[in-house]
């Protein structure tokens, strides 16, 4: 009889303990859905600042004698085409050209607003009434698929942007590049050189695509015959030091 009583007490206690664990309060605390649930809710916000900036880097390359790719390791702060030298191109045209050419690589940032990049260049003058012919001083806009927006991240296809045709670098607010309607940041190149007309022997190839073309690309530092307007620097040009300025501007549209 005593043995049965003890067993009964133990069983009763066990039942009591189970009831104590499964109270409504403890169910809510443990995350079990119940009729008395409450909710904690918080708003979340962030502010994206608005940017308008044209980050530009100037690089030098050799144009005459040892035509090379851009020296990406060295930024320069000004354009010095060096002493002009006599050149005969692949179609037997003679002209005088700078020893060096330059590439301005620009990264426009507009916070998703459409934009254009324009160029204003002054006449190259010796200050004594002599000027380098405007048609020999060339601006050639360019877009390269393999230019990187971040390390290891080529920008790829132009995606609706438009690269302007080559022209004389002398002029006011000349179009270089027009973005797509989303104002995407792109690496835009502009080549500047004192040089000659377009000819097949004067082309430097780059891989990865040029302007709107995918695949093998062509960078052309030279005036294009189909645009017209090229004028050579000849040996009749007055000797001396010539100078000027060039400015690139980012414009919202």
| φ, ψ dihedrals at 149, nearest 5° | -85, -15
What's the confidence (pLDDT) of residue 245?
97
- How many angstroms from the chain centroid is the CA of residue 246? 19
pLDDT along the chain (253 residues), means of 10: 42 42 50 72 97 94 60 84 83 80 93 98 98 91 82 84 90 97 94 72 46 46 57 92 98 97
Decide: residue 44, CB within 10 A, 0-12 exposed, 13-18 middle, 19+ buried. Answer: exposed
Three-state DSSP string of 45-114: CCCCCCCCEEEEEEEEEECCCCCCCCCCCCCCCCCCCCCCEEEECCCCCEEEECCEEEEEEEEEECCCCC
- Residues 6 or more apart whose CB falls under 8 angstroms from that of 204 comprise 67, 69, 218, 219, 220, 221
User: What value, to the nearest 5°, has the Cα angle with vertex 172 and ends 170 and 178?
Assistant: 105
What's the confidence (pLDDT) of residue 18?
38
What's the confidence (pLDDT) of residue 199?
43
What's the confidence (pLDDT) of residue 246?
98
CA distance 209 to 203: 14
């Amino acid at each position: 009889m005593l043995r049965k009583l003890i067993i009964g007490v133990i069983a009763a206690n066990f039942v009591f303990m189970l009831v104590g664990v499964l109270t409504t309060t403890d169910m809510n605390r443990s995350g079990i859905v119940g009729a008395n649930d409450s909710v904690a809710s918080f708003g979340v916000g962030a502010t994206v600042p608005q940017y308008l900036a044209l980050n530009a880097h100037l690089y030098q390359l050799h144009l005459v004698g040892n035509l090379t790719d851009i020296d990406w390791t060295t930024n320069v702060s000004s354009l010095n085409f060096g002493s002009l030298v006599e050149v005969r191109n692949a179609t037997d045209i003679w002209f005088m050209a700078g020893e060096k050419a330059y590439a301005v690589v620009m990264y426009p940032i507009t916070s998703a607003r459409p934009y254009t990049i324009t160029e204003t260049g002054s006449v190259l003058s010796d200050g004594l009434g002599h000027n380098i012919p405007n048609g020999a001083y060339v601006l050639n806009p360019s877009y390269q698929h393999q230019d990187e927006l971040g390390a290891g991240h080529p920008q790829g296809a132009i995606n609706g942007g438009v690269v302007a045709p080559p022209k004389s670098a002398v002029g006011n607010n000349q179009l270089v590049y027009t973005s797509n309607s989303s104002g995407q940041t792109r690496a835009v190149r502009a080549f500047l050189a004192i040089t000659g007309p377009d000819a097949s022997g004067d082309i430097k190839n780059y891989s990865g695509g040029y302007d709107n073309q995918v695949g093998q690309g062509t960078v052309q530092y030279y005036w294009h015959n189909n645009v017209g307007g090229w004028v050579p620097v000849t040996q009749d040009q007055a000797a001396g030091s010539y100078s000027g300025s060039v400015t690139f501007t980012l414009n919202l549209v």
